[in-house]
C-alpha cells in the first residue's frame, strides 16, 4: 500500500519536503511508518518524539493500522496565536 505523509514546520524543514508518498507492507502500523521515517531522516527523531500524528485528519496513536491512500500528517507542537 501507499500512504501520503505531510510534514509541517520543523518536520518539513528537516525532511526537506512538505509531502511524500511512502510504500508499506499491508497492515503496517503508524509506529512502523514512523520508524521508517526516522531511518530515512535521522534528524527527524527528536521532533517526531514530540509530535502528534493525524490519519485522515483524526489524531492517531502508533498502534493504528494504516491503509492504502491514508493521509498521515506529522504535527509538531503548535505555536499559533
Partner 1 sequence: MIQITDQVLDPAAVQRQLGSVDAGASVVFTGTTRRLTAGRETVDLTYECYRELAEKSMRELESTARARWELVECIVLHRLGVVPLGEASVVVGVSAPHRDAAFEAARWLIDTLKERVPIWKQEHWADGSRQWIHPGVTSPTGLGGDGHAR
Chain residues binding partner 1 by CB under 8 A are 6, 8-10, 13-14, 43, 46-47, 50, 52, 54, 57, 73, 75-81
Rounded Cα distance, 42 and 32, in Å: 15
72 contacts 6 by C-beta, under 8 angstroms: yes
Phi, psi of 24 (to 5 degrees): -135, 160
CB of 77 to partner 1, least distance (A): 4
Question: In terms of CB distance, is 23 or 78 closer to partner 1?
Answer: 78
Rounded Cα distance, 38 and 21, in Å: 15
Question: In terms of CB distance, is 13 or 27 closer to partner 1?
Answer: 13
CB of 26 to partner 1, least distance (A): 26
41 contacts 20 by C-beta, under 8 angstroms: no
Question: In terms of CB distance, is 24 or 75 closer to partner 1?
Answer: 75
Amino acid at each position: 500500500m501507499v500512504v501520503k505523509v505531510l510534514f509541517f514546520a520543523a518536520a518539513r524543514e528537516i525532511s526537506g519536503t512538505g509531502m511524500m508518498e511512502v510504500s508499506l507492507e499491508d497492515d503496517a502500523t503508524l509506529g512502523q511508518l514512523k520508524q521508517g521515517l526516522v531511518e530515512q531522516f535521522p534528524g527527524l527523531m527528536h521532533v517526531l518524539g514530540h509530535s502528534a500524528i493525524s490519519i485522515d485528519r483524526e489524531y492517531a496513536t502508533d498502534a493504528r493500522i494504516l491503509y492504502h491512500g491514508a493521509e498521515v500528517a506529522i504535527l509538531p507542537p503548535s505555536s499559533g496565536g
